[in-house]
Structure 1
Amino acid sequence: MWASRKAIVAALVLVTLFFLLRHTSSPSTSVRTAGTTGTSPSDQKSPSESHPPPPQTPPKANPIQQIVNDISSKPLRTRLAYYFPYEIEGKFPGYVWQTWKVGPASGAFEDHLRPLEASWTEKHPGFVHEVITDQAAEPLIRYLFASVPEVAEAYSAMPLPVLKADFFRYLILLARGGIYTDIDTEALKSAAEWLPERLDHSSVGLVIGIEADPDRPDWAEWYARRIQFCQWTIQAKAGHPILREIVAAITEKTLELKRQGLLKHGRTPTSISVMEYTGPGIWTDIVFNYFNNHEYFEFDAKYQNITVQDFFNIQEHKKVGDVVVLPITSFSPGVGQMNAGEPDHPMAFVRHDFEGSWKPEKEQTH
C-alpha cells in the first residue's frame, strides 16, 4: 500500500516538474522565433552590449577640387593667366564684338549706325558678329568671369556707361579674343588685310593702332599721351598679357574706389579721369610697360627700352615682340592732321565716326 502511494507521489512530482520546466522555457523560445533563424540563446547578444562602429576610411582627395582650391588662393593676375591662357601660335579668333544700348534688330537702333554696323559683317562674312546690348553685357561678364568674381564685381560697380564700355572691350578680348570695335566705326578693309603677307601671323598676338601723334607744344590739352594708342578698335588673341594686365589694373582700382566710397552712380570719380581710369591713357601706359618688361623681352646694353620716340610719324606696320602697331592712317584716316592719310589710302582699315555717344549731349559730335 505504501509502495503504491510512493509511486503515485513520484508520478505527481514528475508531472509537476514537466509543466514547470515547459513554462520556464517558453520565453526563450519566443525570443528565438523573433530573432535570427537558427541562432541559439548563446548566440544572442544582450541588448545592453555595445557594438563598436566600423572603421572609417578617410574620403579620397579630389585632384580637380584641390587644383581649384589652390588656384582660388592665388593673386588676381595668376588666376587670370590660368583661366584665360595665351596661345600665340593659333589664329586670331573670328569674332567681331561691339556694344550698344540696343541691338540692330531693335527699332530704337539709330539709322545712321546701321551702315557702319553692317560694314563689319560685309567685310568679315565668316566671322561671328555680335552687338552686345547694355542689358546683356553684365550677365555675360558674370558668366565669363565666374571663376574670378572680383572682375565681375568691379564691372558692376562702375558708375558710368563709358567706364563699362571701356572695360568691356578688354574683358571680352581677354576671354574670347577677336576684334573689338566701337559701334560708330566703319570697316574699310577686312582684318585679313591688316597685316602684311610677309609677316608670320603666328608670331602676332595683338594688333593696335596709333590714335594720336601730335607734334605741337599744347598736345597735353587734347590728348592723354604724346603717343596715344587707339582703343576703339583692337584685334587680339585671347589671354594676351597686355589684356590681362589692364583687366587686373582696372579691377584693383575699381574695388579700391568702391571701398573708399568714391563710386557714385552717374558720376565720374573725382580722384581720376576717364582717360586715366579706363581709357587711352592707361591703355597706352600698359602697352609701353609691356614693351619694356624683361619678363617678355630681352634687352642688350645698346637697346634698353622703347619710348614714344620709336613711334613718331610711322607710316607702316611696326612690330614689337608679339604686338603690331599700325600707323595713324590705319584706324584714323581722314582726320586731317598728324599726317593721317585719307580713307582711300592703302593703309586705311577702319574709319571712326567720333560720335562720342557716351559724352554729355553738348559735347557730342555728329
Structure 2
Amino acid sequence: MVPPRLRRLAIFALLGAVLMVWTLFRREEWDHESLGGLESQYPLLYQHVHMQTGEGGAWYIPANWTTPTHKPPRNIVEAAEWALQATNASDHYLPFSTIPMIVHQTWKTTRIDTWPQLLRHSAERWLQAATEGPMAYFLWTDEGMAQLVHRFEPGLAMQFAGLASNVERSDVFRIVVSKWIGGVYGDIDTEPLRPPTQWISATDLLPWTDTQTGTSYPATAPVQAIVGLEADCREDTDTYWRMGYSQPVQLTQWAFAWAPGHPILQTFLDRLTTTLQTIADRYGGSLQSRAARQELLALDPLTLTGPAAFTEAVRSRLAETTGLRWQALSGLEDGGRSKVVDDVLVLPITGFSPGRGAYGNMGSKPVTDASARLRHLAQGSWRAFDWTVEYGKFCRTMLGRCRDWSKVPVPSAAIA
C-alpha cells in the first residue's frame, strides 16, 4: 500500500502536469489565433516580413523586377544590391529624381507578433505604399545592418561595433545604406501619408530667392536628396535650444531619401570617423576599453550621430558648394515652401513633421495638408523615462537653463 501522503503528492503532481499541458495547449491555440488575426489585419507585413526566412532581415522586390532565372538572394545585402541593379537598369526612380524606388526600415526582429501594434500599423502602411509604387522594401535587423557595414564600409566596422548604443548604430546605418543602396529611409514609427512616388511635384522645384542675400536657387538637375525640417525657429531667440534642438533650423533624421553616392553622406561619415578615431587614439587605437566607452557615453548621441550631426553635415556641404545661408531654409516667413538647393530638396516642417500641437508648432500644418509626406509617431525604442533627462527638459523649457544637459537616457549597460 502506498502511504496516503505519497498518494496525495502523486495526485497533485498529476493535476499539475495536466494543468501545464492544458495551459501550453491553450497558449499554442491563442498564438495560432493571434497570428491568424495578424495575418488578416496586416496581410502585407505578415506575408513579406513575418513569413520571411532571409538572413539579416526581410524584403519585398516587385515581381516584374525579377526573372524566372534569377537566383534568390542568400541574405538581405545581396537582395538590396540586386534591387539597386534593377532600378538602375529600368529607371525605377522617384519622379523628378535619381532616387531609387527602394524603402528601408529597421527593427529588432521580423517576428511581427512581438511588435507593438503601432509599429505593425506603420510598417503595413509602408509596405502598402511600396507594393502600390511599385517599390522594393527592406526591413533590416541588427544582423543585417552589421552585414551591410562589413560589406561596404569595412574600415568603419570596428567603430560601428564600438558605438555606445543601438540608436547610434541605427543612425549610422541609415547613412551607410543611403550611400551604397540609396532610396527612402523611414523610421519604423513613421507612417507615410503620401506614397514616396508622390513626394516630389513640379511645384516643389520652382526657383526661390533668399530675401536677405538676393541669391536665387533654381532647380537645374534631377533631385538627388530629399530632407525635411524638424525644427524651424527664429535665430534671434532662445526658443530652439529651450525646445531641445541644436540649431534654430534643424533637419529630421527619422526620414529622408537619397541617390546612392551623394557626397553629403560621405561628409557625415568623415566627420564621425574623425571623432571616433580621435577618441580611440587616446586609448591605444581601440574603442573597446572601459575608459574609451565611458568617453563615448559622455557624448550626446544627438550630436554624435543624430539629427544635430546630420544637420551639420548637410549645412556645411551646401554652404561650401552654394554659399547657402542656412536660416534661409526657414518657412516662417514664406508659409512653409519647399526649397531646392543644388540637388537637395528641402521640405518645410510640414513635410515630415505635420500635425504638431500649439506648443512647438513652428509652422507645422495638419496631416491633411498637401505638403505633408509622412508623420512621426514618436515611439522610438530608445525612449525611456529618465529623471535626469526629464529634469533637464523642465529646466530648459521653464527656466531657460540646463542648455547642455543630455536629452536622451544614458545606457548604463553599455559601459560593461
Q: If the TM-score is normalised by the length of the shorter chain, which range does it land in?
A: 0.5 to 0.7
Determine the C-alpha separation between the residues in 2 that align with 1:128 and 1:266.
37
Aligned match of 2:370: 346
Aligned match of 1:213: 232
Which runs of structure 2 are paired with 1:142-181 in the superposition (5 Å)?
Answer: 142-145=150-153, 149-181=154-186
Aligned match of 1:137: 145
Aligned match of 1:70: none
Aligned match of 1:286: 313
Where 1:292 maps in the other structure, the secondary structure is helix
- Taking structure 1 as reference, are residues 127 and 323 closer, same or farther at Cα in structure 2, changes over 3 Å only? same
- Taking structure 1 as reference, are residues 107 and 267 closer, same or farther at Cα in structure 2, changes over 3 Å only? farther
Determine the C-alpha separation between the residues in 2 that align with 1:109 and 1:268.
33
Instruction: Give the fraction of aligned pairs with identical amino acids, expressed as a percent.
Output: 27
Where 1:242 maps in the other structure, the secondary structure is helix
Is the 2:148–2:177 Cα contact (8 Å) retained in structure 1?
no
Determine the C-alpha separation between the residues in 2 that align with 1:128 and 1:162.
24
Match of 1:196 among 195, 201, 205: 201
Shift of 1:156: 1.4
Determine the C-alpha separation between the residues in 2 that align with 1:190 and 1:339.
23
Aligned match of 1:97: 104
Determine the C-alpha separation between the residues in 2 that align with 1:201 and 1:195.
15
Aligned match of 2:252: 230
Shift of 1:283: 1.1
The aligned amino acid for 2:252 is: C
Aligned match of 1:360: 384
Where 1:357 maps in the other structure, the secondary structure is coil
Where 2:346 maps in the other structure, the secondary structure is strand
Q: Which runs of 5 or more residues in structure 2 are unaligned?
A: 1-92, 206-218, 391-407, 409-416
Deviations 1:293-312 (A, max 9, x none): 1xx33xxxxxx542214424
2:326 is aligned with 1:307: yes
Where 2:296 maps in the other structure, the secondary structure is coil
2:343 is aligned with 1:316: no
Where 1:107 maps in the other structure, the secondary structure is helix
The aligned amino acid for 1:95 is: I
Determine the C-alpha separation between the residues in 2 that align with 1:321 and 1:358.
34
Q: CA RMSD in A?
A: 2.8
Where 2:106 maps in the other structure, the secondary structure is strand
Shift of 1:167: 0.5
Is the 1:116–1:183 Cα contact (8 Å) retained in structure 2?
yes
Deviations 1:278-335 (A, max 9, x none): 1111111111111111xx33xxxxxx54221442425121011111100000100111
Shift of 1:218: 3.5
Determine the C-alpha separation between the residues in 1 that align with 2:97 and 2:227.
18
Determine the C-alpha separation between the residues in 2 that align with 1:343 and 1:240.
30
Deviations 1:126-162 (A, max 9, x none): 11111111232212211122xxx22222211112111
Determine the C-alpha separation between the residues in 2 that align with 1:254 and 1:133.
24
Shift of 1:113: 0.7
Is the 2:331–2:337 Cα contact (8 Å) retained in structure 1?
no
Is the 1:211–1:230 Cα contact (8 Å) retained in structure 2?
yes
Where 2:202 maps in the other structure, the secondary structure is coil
Determine the C-alpha separation between the residues in 2 that align with 1:218 and 1:308.
15
Is the 1:102–1:133 Cα contact (8 Å) retained in structure 2?
yes
Aligned match of 1:260: 282
- Taking structure 1 as reference, are residues 208 and 245 closer, same or farther at Cα in structure 2, changes over 3 Å only? same
The aligned amino acid for 2:310 is: W
Superposition TM-score, scaled by structure 2 size:
0.59
Is the 2:329–2:339 Cα contact (8 Å) retained in structure 1?
no
- Taking structure 1 as reference, are residues 268 and 124 closer, same or farther at Cα in structure 2, changes over 3 Å only? farther
Determine the C-alpha separation between the residues in 2 that align with 1:306 and 1:360.
36
Determine the C-alpha separation between the residues in 2 that align with 1:288 and 1:91.
21
Is the 2:233–2:240 Cα contact (8 Å) retained in structure 1?
yes
Higher gyration radius (CA): 1
The aligned amino acid for 2:318 is: F
- Taking structure 1 as reference, are residues 270 and 109 closer, same or farther at Cα in structure 2, changes over 3 Å only? closer
Deviations 1:212-258 (A, max 9, x none): 01345342131111100111101000000100110121122223223
Which runs of structure 2 are paired with 1:88-127 in the superposition (5 Å)?
Answer: 91-103=98-110, 105-125=111-131, 126-127=134-135
The aligned amino acid for 1:289 is: S
Is the 1:318–1:324 Cα contact (8 Å) retained in structure 2?
yes
- Taking structure 1 as reference, are residues 153 and 117 closer, same or farther at Cα in structure 2, changes over 3 Å only? same
Is the 1:331–1:351 Cα contact (8 Å) retained in structure 2?
yes
Shift of 1:189: 0.2
2:351 is aligned with 1:330: yes
Determine the C-alpha separation between the residues in 1 that align with 2:348 and 2:331.
9
Shift of 1:361: 4.1
Deviations 1:50-102 (A, max 9, x none): xxxxxxxxxxxxxxxxxxxxxxxxxxxxxxxxxxxxxx997311211111111
Where 1:192 maps in the other structure, the secondary structure is helix
- Taking structure 1 as reference, are residues 271 and 193 closer, same or farther at Cα in structure 2, changes over 3 Å only? same
Where 1:210 maps in the other structure, the secondary structure is strand
Moved more, 355-364 or 277-286: 355-364
How many residues end up aligned between the 2 structures?
268
Is the 1:268–1:274 Cα contact (8 Å) retained in structure 2?
no
Where 2:125 maps in the other structure, the secondary structure is helix
